[in-house]
Amino acid sequence: MNNIYLDSAATTQIRQEVIDRMAEVMSVYGNPSSTHTFGRTAKSLIENARKTVAKYLNVAAKEIIFTSGGTEADNLILNSAVRDLKVERIITSKIEHKAVLQCVTQLQDCFDVEIEFVKLDEKGNIDLLHLEELLKDSDKKTLVSLMHVNNEVGNMLDIEKTGNLCKQYNALFHSDTVQSIGHFNLDLNELPVDFAAVSAHKFHGPKGVGFAYVKSNSGLRSLIFGGGQERGVRAGTESVHNIVGLEEAIKLTYDNLEEEKQHTSALKKHFIEQLQSELPGIKFNGECANFEKSTYTLVNVCLPISEEEATMLLFQLDLKGIACSKGSACQSGSDQGSHVLAEFLSEEDLKKPSIRFSFSRYNTKEELDYVVDVLKEFIQVNA
């Protein structure tokens, strides 16, 4: 078998319907900020997309701010929270996406913001009791930034309980939902979340577009200055075809969610069973083998061979036509290990290779069986 794509946590295959819809609107070339017919036509496409996104998340259209993706949305929220909302203290975890971790480090350096890290258990779960202790511990204006679904091991945060804790102690709550919007039904109007970040290419949409959910009357202001686009919260001429592509992707995703979730969950279950059966000694990192505590879209495994024996593993998998990931795609090209796994794996397991396989509607059980066979052969040769 050739060209088996198992890296959907990095980016998903764009749907053909999305490509077709984007191609349709690329002929709409007016600037959305222009008041003539060409501009108004482009503007109406953006506003219709905003309404569509808002409908699926049960929020007001004005609470959706289109961005270039999840990283920009995270940076917009965190920077403005400190600069404009006068947040003095940020509580986060050491297993967040680098879009959050590097941003809060910059805020600490530039604005002397106090940064607190909530503890993790042995599986990499957020310790909510410790979070409550931290929230009780200070009267400073606080923002909590914790991702809903971890992009490397798939652990799921109890987002409702976390948000309620924040509300109880008058803290703002920001969640990076890049790995969950498009995979779970989230009612952001009912959930106690003030801010969220989303990226279209994680649910079969185009790259280079996403949005920030910003609760009404939050006071958040622009990170990028210029024109008054996106209600003054995000300057710059909007990418109309990308925004319409995001709209099409989110419609198709949620209209087919239960069927596709069932398909992908069955793939993950089958893969776990085959790995356990054929590869004795394999370990599952974090909660990825627990369907109650992790997303159905990925598995992160620690293989029973040494790091030296596995030096060429990803290269060999690629030669066999298998695309997967050693860690977050945002760390590709780096020789550093996973900052996520480093926080809770044992020293012994950190020396062994860990690989993330992530699935989508386009994968099959036959593909996964092939992957298991390739891994089994590699381990037997290098054991």
Closest CA to 170 of 196, 144, 133: 144
User: Which entry of 110, 302, 324, 330 is annotated as an active-site residue?
Assistant: 330
Active site residue 330: yes
- Cβ–Cβ under 8 Å, residues 234 and 246: no
Q: Residue 332: CB partners within 8 Å, gap ≥ 6?
A: 325
CA atoms of 340 and 239, how far apart (whole Å) = 33
CA atoms of 247 and 190, how far apart (whole Å) = 22
Structure-block tokens of residue 213: 């959910």
Residues annotated catalytic, as ranges: 330
